[in-house]
Amino acid sequence: MAFLPLPPPVPARSAATPAVSARHHGGRTAPELSGPTPRVVVVTSGKGGVGKTTTTANLAASLARLSLPAVAVDADAGLRNLDLLLGLENRVHLTAADVLAGDCRLDQALVRHRALQDLQLLCLSKPRSKLPLAFGSKTLTWVADALRRAPNPPAFILIDCPAGR
């Protein structure tokens, strides 16, 4: 068996020429994003129980730890669990359904994480609520657009979709 030769090593960059521009916040260095923000990441699968909610929670927490503001959206109206994984289950009082009904503003429905200041949660519904069947992709598009137009838009919008969507 023959092995291909390794490529030559890449010279190390000096501190004067960083590979990525960075900002410092809370003792951590976060990469600066280029291009339009917020970036919308949809975590979806046709099958349940594959880790969509866990992945969304971990991505949101990791981005917040890097000082990149993130909004995690729990779009699973039937089985709301993202608030549980983020430890915010007792703090969700208003939802996107309340915003759509005109009962509150979007900024009132966002729940800020106490330990991770750059992380917010938006649930589409309350547990066991009866939502119309049309509550789907158009609503998610509206939510993403509304967050994009906010005075301080997040760097990332992470949408945790229900199975089969």
What does the pLDDT look like over 65-95, one tens digit per residue? 999 999 999 998 777 789 999 999 899 999 9
Q: Spell out the domains of the chain, with CATH numbers in brackets.
A: 38-160 (3.40.50.300)
Instruction: State pLDDT tens for residues 89-145.
Output: 899 999 998 998 899 999 999 999 999 999 999 998 876 565 554 456 788 899 999
CB-neighbour burial class of residue 148 (10 A; exposed 0-12, middle 13-18, buried 19+): middle
What pTM was computed for the model?
0.77
Task: Say how far apart CA 144 and CA 149 lie, in whole Å.
Answer: 9
Name the one residue in this structure whose structure tokens are 């949101």. Answer: 60
Question: Could you tell me the CA-to-CA distances from 91 to 20, 60, 88, 105, 114 in Å, in that order?
Answer: 37, 17, 5, 16, 11
